[in-house]
């Protein structure tokens, strides 16, 4: 069973309208409608709420739909990538501050500064590229 059908079944078994279901999850009714029509997928946080509120295991929800399983895996990889790139950026800023606060500034320092700025720019591009929605 695909996740859209699973979510609709969970909602209907609870005797809720899309509006009521959305209120319980603190989201819009349109989001629920998109989930049930297969136009979008809930994020892992909403899946956890659904699991807790309606007493349905995450295993049942996620493993029943290959697209959802892939989305969860992809989201996990994206989170790891963002944290790594954030750490690189953080250390790059520390290095830049250290370089600018020391005197004098020979040519190799300017090369390092330009290199770090380019690295931050590339990290920003990678974050945008790899954090696009998979579904």
| Chain mean pLDDT for the chain | 80
- Angle at CA 42, nearest 5°, toward 4 and 126? 130
DSSP string, 66-81: HHHHHHHHHHHHHHHH
User: 57-76, pLDDT tens digit by residue?
Assistant: 887 777 766 676 677 777 77
For CA atoms 20, 31, 75, 9, the dihedral sign is: positive
The pLDDT of residue 105 is above 70: no
The gap between the terminal CA atoms of the chain, to the nearest Å, is 17
Longest dimension (CA), the chain: 72
Which pLDDT band holds residue 132 (cuts at 50, 70, 90)?
low
- Close Cβ partners of 85 (under 8 Å, ≥ 6 residues apart): 123, 126, 127
Model pTM above 0.85: no
């Amino acid at each position: 069973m695909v996740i859209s059908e699973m979510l609709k079944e969970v909602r209907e078994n609870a005797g809720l309208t899309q509006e009521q279901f959305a209120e319980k999850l603190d989201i819009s009714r349109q989001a629920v409608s998109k989930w049930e029509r297969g136009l979008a997928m809930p994020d892992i946080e909403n899946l956890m709420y659904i699991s807790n509120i309606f007493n349905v295991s995450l295993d049942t929800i996620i493993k029943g739909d290959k697209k959802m399983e892939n989305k969860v895996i992809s989201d996990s990889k994206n989170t790891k990538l963002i944290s790594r790139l954030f750490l690189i950026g953080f250390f790059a800023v520390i290095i830049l501050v250290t370089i600018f606060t020391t005197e004098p500034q020979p040519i190799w320092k300017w090369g390092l500064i330009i290199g770090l700025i380019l690295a931050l720019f590339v990290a920003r591009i990678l974050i945008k590229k790899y954090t696009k929605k998979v579904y």
